[in-house]
Structure 1
Amino acid sequence: YRKCGHQTSLGVILDLGYISYGATDPSLSDRVTFPYFYRTVQSDEGEYIALCKLLKYFGWNWIGILRSDDYSGYRDHQLLIKHLSREGICVAFTISQWENLRIGELKKKINKFYSASVIIICGDVGTSTLKLSKPELYELRGKTFIFLSKWLNQVDVLSYFVSKLLHGSLLFMQKRRNDQFVPRFKEFSDSYKPSNYPEDNLLENIWLWKFCCLSKDKIKNEYHEFLFRFLDNCSGKEKLTDLPAYLVPYHSASLMNAVEIMSVALTHMQNSLPKQTSQYKHMYNYQLHRYLRNVSYTSDGSPALSFTEKRDFIYEYEIVNPQLGSNKTWTWNTVGNYVPWAQRLTLTQEKIRWKTPNNKLPISWCSERCVPGYRKVTRPGIYMCCYDCVWCPEGEISNTTDSENCIQCPKMEWPNKKKTKCIPKTVDYLSYTHILSAFFSATSALFFLASLLILGVFITYRDSPIVRANNRSLSFLLLVSIKLSFLSVFLFLGRPVDITCMLRNVTFGITFSIAVSSLLAKTIMVCVAFKATKPGSSWRKWLGVKLSNSVVLFCSSIQIIICMTWLAISPPFQELDIHTSPGTIIIHDVAVEVTVSGLVTGRPNVPSNKRHLGISCNAHSEKAV
């Protein structure tokens, strides 16, 4: 068994089985370069995917990056940029620790991208991290930071400034087993002390730095006294478990998992294979690799764990909101989790304590959110997250925030005033309550009453010489047809239906043609009467009711035949006009046969390239009228 420390450069890996409890470098997943490498943690790449989900959840698409000035900072920065660009998240600025920025320059850079209030820290925790405490970076203390789980390794040795950055921010933690502090582990830890292992220099250094115990090395003692000015002889009761960061749910669990998995694999291999000689060493190591690859490990009823194809473990990510108390002790508030295999992010925002005033959610946008009714239009430039909000075009809506495209409403619907939803279009026709309908109705009723009054006078004095001389029967027919013509106006009012569309023009055409025919018959009878007054005139034989009745019957029959033919061949029908007036459905009747329609109504045939002719008999709006 060999362990690989956090992000250790492995160099040339021998053909032995390696299990790391802290190495998260994505390059270690390369099976060609590292065929026998295993780890009980996940790659940074999986954590960046969870990070992008978190940013999308809060709507943060305009963030800053603070990276270390080593290779790990460069590598993490490039990997993070790749995943952010896939999710449509832009990087406002990147600050590298090797940049010798003055306070004024840093303020100018931050103020230029002041709306980027969320910053991600890239790179490993090492000696370069100490540079985070330089005064220039105090300008960032009001920002919200997001830390990766690797920062948990050194949380107890972070500088005070970095601790202030971690306080109130968000931190990822790979979910660990809940039974890592079993009695046998504590018993082993309590017995692991310099008095029992005097040759262990690591234990000696831990007791020197953590418990201020004198060591056997005088140079170490002098150096420590120079820094801290005190050392003491320890009582021997000091234990590893007394260290605040020793029993943390991070490396202790991953380390124990690594040890126990190696133990299980070795046990299975020893029980399955006979003892081999040195000449079979390569085969022996390959068998160890095979057993490590197929091992399935469980602890105290927890779900079984096994290595993936990339030779790592997949855990849930816990999202933690660290809080630094007044006594400099940390409180790790778990506010959510992310399940990688289900790509499910769960958060409880009420548990998060932000750095912002009144505990408001930090806003990290390049542009204000586009409310429903607007859509995003990208500004010219390199940042796709910077955009303008424009009003949706006519006939379209957007019902979500930051909509990239507007939705076309159905043909029978139209956007509301805010363009957030489609509503039924307004139906428009010449209703009885319209002012024009009132005018036409009043006028028609007035003339109808006038005609009725005149008809009543004619009926009262029907035996008088003047009425008889005026051709009494034609006068009655003329007045009745005029009354019906005035009443036919009411067929043009109200909502059009198929039956009214057919009766409108036909009723008016027939009644009006009878009235005109009656006038024509009266005129002909007057002319014949004057011709017949001459002695011996042949016009006398045309005097009588036969001529007048024949004229009315003949002329009216022509109109009736035309109307019946029109109704038989192609009767008019109602149509819904959804194009003339936006947002309005105009109901009107349509006559397909233009020529016959012109004969019925007496209007000239107007050439048109349209297939249908709308008969303007409904006066659906003032403009149409």
Structure 2
Amino acid sequence: MSPWLTWLTPAIPLLLPWLVRDGSGMVQATVCSRWDRSVGLDDRGLSQEGEVVIGGLIPFHNLPPAPDLSFSQPPDLQSCVNFQEEPLQWAHALVFAVDEINRNPFLLPGIQLGYRILDSCNQHPWSLRGALSLVSGGNIRSRPSSDCPVPLVIGDASSTQSIILARTLGPLSVPVISYQASCGCLSDRLEFPNFFRTIPSDVYQALTMARLTWLLGWTWVGAVAVDNDYGRLAIQVFEEEIRGTGVCLAFFETLNRANLVRDVKRAADTVQASTARVILVFLWYTDMGALLLELGRRNVTDRQFLASEAWSTSGQLLRNPALFNVAQGVVGVAIRSAPIPGFEAHLRSLHPSRRPGDVLLKELWETEFGCSPGAAHGHSTSLLPSPLPPSTSVSLPQTPPPTSSSPRPRLASCSGAETLVEVQSPFTDTSQLRITYNVYLAVYAAAHALHSLLSCSQRDSPTWGSSFTCSPPHNISPAELLQHLNQVNFTTPLGEPFYFRGADVPAVYDLVNWQATPQGLLKLVTIGRVDGSNLLINQSAIQWNTGSNTVPVSVCSDSCPPGTRVARRKGEPVCCFDCISCAEGEVSNTTGSMQCDRCPLEFWSNSHRTACVPRQLEFLSFNDVMGVTLTTVAVCGAVATVAVFMFFVYHRHTPLVRANNSELSFLLLLSLKLCFLCSLVFIGRPSVWACRIRQAAFGVIFVLCLSCLLVKTIVVLAAFRSARPGAGQLMRWFGPGQQRGSVFLFTSVQVIICAVWLSVSSPLPYRDLGLKGSKVILECEVGSVVGFSLVLGYIGLLACLCLLLAFLARKLPDNFNEAKLITFSMLIFCAVWISFVPAYISSPGKYADAVEIFAILASSFGLLLCIFMPKCYIILLRPERNTKKHMMSK
């Protein structure tokens, strides 16, 4: 039989009255209840008569029976197998709450509240069939008023089953209050106007888990979920919440109970192969148990699980020693725990002798004590099978219902002395009442809605029950009850306010941790609480899967340290990236920085690219190797010039010194000394006066030097011209006074140029920040480029004129023609300064100053060596040539 046909079968008794009509078109009163052959299912539950009866669906068993493939009898639903103790505790929370309400003189006074609780088997067909049985009156043969429908259903445990119930019972306006259906989709009041729940929506659970992963630094998380609305929608909310936070899903696997073995192996393969060390799990505890066993068999024990409320507090998993290694350290979101005063005493007082027809209590006894309770007489509050009433409309073959499972081995009869007083089991454990408390709250919510509905000022009026807000107990309208349920607002027995916001209650969770005990078992420890948007967690109290308090690491790529930035990998999740060092001048001082920040202009990045430090000032210093070298060379040049000067002074009366215009020679030596010393002004920290003096002194001193050379060259030419007939007066017109005047005149022009330059736009210190580097270049800006060009241009003009005149006088007959020496010196001078211009322009910072100093020193040494060294050579080593006779000979 297909599933949809199986679900439809229980609804046939509701639809049949519309199909069976007499000849006048009137509906016959008889209903063929025999169309629903699964009558035994209604007897496996708990029931109590009352003026108002509420329904309940609880999965006492979680496995359907093996299908009958003999096709020897019509298909129907059979009783499920694999009894569970915890759901039985939930059912007794409903029973206990009803008993409390019946004893309460202020809540539903004068109204006896009853209940009918059926087994939903945690499967769709059983859940739907049970709900339709409850709202239609069902086929319970033990009750004379079996046709009385319930106005409200508390259930089911699963989101998918609750969706089916809400959609099926929605047209009938029957309220559904679930104690464990947490799917966020059920909050839609347009689609599910009749649905309520006492458990927070999965939206808040998924948001809490997303906040936990972000808080604990887990960016690479795997996910395993049940293949239904509960699992898929929870993961969808989780993905939406982590979007943009740097957290990624490494994988997403689903488990379907119909193919549990195959799906568990596939999920285990994925978990084992993945690099994610944190696994988010939205599964029912039985499915999670199968997955944990498979991972334990493979020795995959280094995974940290984030548990949903469906299994985070499962005692069955906690008590399983086979799961110790793989499940240790689980951190989960749990339904809030609250005490129910007197509930434990109620549970421990239960005994089959007082409930002889309670098949569920019998199964509990068989599970706990390994014996079968004997038959006993007594009043039963459970549903006992009885013969079916005959049908007056339709006759169906009388075939016995098939058995639900293979025969079990017969157990020995119990002695009757067995008791739950000292038993420690999931059924009697009231230390962590979570889902149990949700069932308890659901009953009180239903009771307060009934109280509001049944409390009417016109109760004694003949028209009582005809208004929209009032109903009599024997004829409660589910639609009216639904309206009152929407307005429920009361204080619980614990003193807490309770109300519905649409379908939901305010989100309150416990955060729990599975910790190892010295006995080699796992225990549940509360480590925090979630109340709305407030998340409180004690991280130091958490015991992780490693057994330590160190938070495990689960990342696709390690966080980029300070000094680096994140570089995305193309085609991979955002959590998988490379770390690239910041460029020079950029820093990142946080872990996992997405970009590097550029330092301010006055700062530069340190070697680790983690902080901006002030840039180091760079200039040609006396402490630099280059500065020391140039200073040494300049001082040596000045000393050499002074030595030559003193040597010439000492030999000033010799013919050679007198024949070469000793006055101009001494002035030239003085200017060369100043040239050497002038280069020292270019070394050291630039200041306003240093920048002004260095270029002006350089220009004036070099012009003085070249003026001396030019005048000496002119004197040579004039001397030889005066030797010609008729030119005797030439030297008279260019005597010593005219020579000194010419030097002064040539130098004055440069002085005027420098004065105008310094007054209009003088050189100033300048911080060059344009160059990429960790240093600020401190240099002298020339100010006016025109002024600097005129200074160099005038020097070049004098040098070219001197070179030209010296070149013309180089072949004049003489034993010692000084014009030749001046020619060589000017060639060196011009070569140096011609190469200086491009080298100066292309050299950055202090190297430009070094180039200018080198040009000054090179040209100065050229002049000193070419002009004076030959004379010193003759004076010292060839004194025979230092005579007037030799000087005058040709």
Give TM-score, length-normalised by structure 1.
0.80
Match of 1:166 among 327, 332, 352: 327
Counterpart Cα distance in 1 of 2:457 and 2:625: 103
Residues 1:311 and 2:504 are matched in the alignment: yes
Counterpart Cα distance in 2 of 1:592 and 1:578: 17
Following superposition, the deviation at residue 66 of structure 1 comes to 3.3
Structure number with bigger Rg: 2
| Residue pairs, 1:578-617, within 5 angstroms | 578-580=769-771, 582-602=773-793, 617=848
Counterpart Cα distance in 2 of 1:42 and 1:227: 43
Paired position in structure 1 for 2:148? none
Paired position in structure 2 for 1:386? 576
Match of 1:147 among 301, 307, 315: 307
Q: Which amino acid aligns with 1:232?
A: C
Match of 1:401 among 588, 591, 607: 591
Residues 1:521 and 2:711 are matched in the alignment: yes
Q: Deviations over 1:171-213 (max 9, x none)?
A: 2224445xx244x555655666666666665555545544556
Q: Which runs of 5+ in 2 are unaligned?
A: 1-151, 378-383, 386-404, 472-478, 794-832, 857-890
| Residue pairs, 1:469-508, within 5 angstroms | 474-475=664-665, 477-508=667-698
Q: Secondary structure at the match of 1:151?
A: coil
Structure 1 residues 396 and 20: alpha-carbon distance in aligned structure 2, compared to 1, 3 A threshold: same
Counterpart Cα distance in 2 of 1:321 and 1:538: 122
Structure 1 residues 54 and 259: alpha-carbon distance in aligned structure 2, compared to 1, 3 A threshold: same
Q: Deviations over 1:58-112 (max 9, x none)?
A: 3333333333455644554555555555643123362635265599988865554
Q: Which amino acid aligns with 1:4?
A: G
Following superposition, the deviation at residue 548 of structure 1 comes to 2.5
Structure 1 residues 230 and 118: alpha-carbon distance in aligned structure 2, compared to 1, 3 A threshold: farther
Give TM-score, length-normalised by structure 2.
0.58
Partners of 1:69 and 1:96 within 8 A in 2: yes
Q: Secondary structure at the match of 2:673?
A: helix
Partners of 1:373 and 1:399 within 8 A in 2: yes
Residues 1:279 and 2:437 are matched in the alignment: no
Paired position in structure 1 for 2:39? none
The size of the alignment, in residue pairs, is 614
Residues 1:561 and 2:752 are matched in the alignment: yes
Match of 1:332 among 518, 524, 527: 524
Residues 1:6 and 2:157 are matched in the alignment: yes
Partners of 2:777 and 2:846 within 8 A in 1: no
Counterpart Cα distance in 2 of 1:83 and 1:536: 108
Counterpart Cα distance in 2 of 1:47 and 1:540: 113
Q: Secondary structure at the match of 1:365?
A: coil
Partners of 1:261 and 1:292 within 8 A in 2: no
Partners of 1:428 and 1:620 within 8 A in 2: no
| Residue pairs, 1:210-609, within 5 angstroms | 210=368, 214=373, 216=375, 226=408, 229-235=411-417, 238=420, 243-260=427-444, 275=459, 277-281=464-468, 289=483, 293=487, 295=489, 297=491, 306-308=499-501, 311-323=504-516, 326=519, 328=521, 330-338=522-530, 340-342=532-534, 344=535, 346-348=537-539, 350-356=540-546, 361-456=551-646, 474-475=664-665, 477-528=667-718, 531=721, 537-539=728-730, 541-580=732-771, 582-602=773-793
Counterpart Cα distance in 2 of 1:163 and 1:247: 21
Residues 1:122 and 2:282 are matched in the alignment: yes
Structure 1 residues 291 and 498: alpha-carbon distance in aligned structure 2, compared to 1, 3 A threshold: farther
Following superposition, the deviation at residue 508 of structure 1 comes to 0.9
Structure 1 residues 620 and 28: alpha-carbon distance in aligned structure 2, compared to 1, 3 A threshold: farther
Following superposition, the deviation at residue 509 of structure 1 comes to 0.7
Following superposition, the deviation at residue 326 of structure 1 comes to 3.1
Partners of 2:313 and 2:334 within 8 A in 1: no
Q: Secondary structure at the match of 1:156?
A: helix
Q: Secondary structure at the match of 2:310?
A: helix
Q: Deviations over 1:210-253 (max 9, x none)?
A: 45561649999xx9994694552444853599644333142344
Partners of 1:592 and 1:613 within 8 A in 2: no
Partners of 1:3 and 1:20 within 8 A in 2: yes
Counterpart Cα distance in 2 of 1:389 and 1:337: 37
Partners of 2:373 and 2:416 within 8 A in 1: yes
Counterpart Cα distance in 2 of 1:486 and 1:298: 102
Structure 1 residues 623 and 471: alpha-carbon distance in aligned structure 2, compared to 1, 3 A threshold: closer
Q: Which amino acid aligns with 1:279?
A: S
Partners of 1:485 and 1:512 within 8 A in 2: yes
Match of 2:249 among 90, 100, 111: 90
Structure 1 residues 166 and 102: alpha-carbon distance in aligned structure 2, compared to 1, 3 A threshold: closer
Paired position in structure 1 for 2:195? 37
Q: Secondary structure at the match of 1:279?
A: coil
Paired position in structure 1 for 2:871? none
Partners of 2:283 and 2:310 within 8 A in 1: no
Partners of 1:322 and 1:332 within 8 A in 2: yes
Q: Secondary structure at the match of 2:505?
A: coil
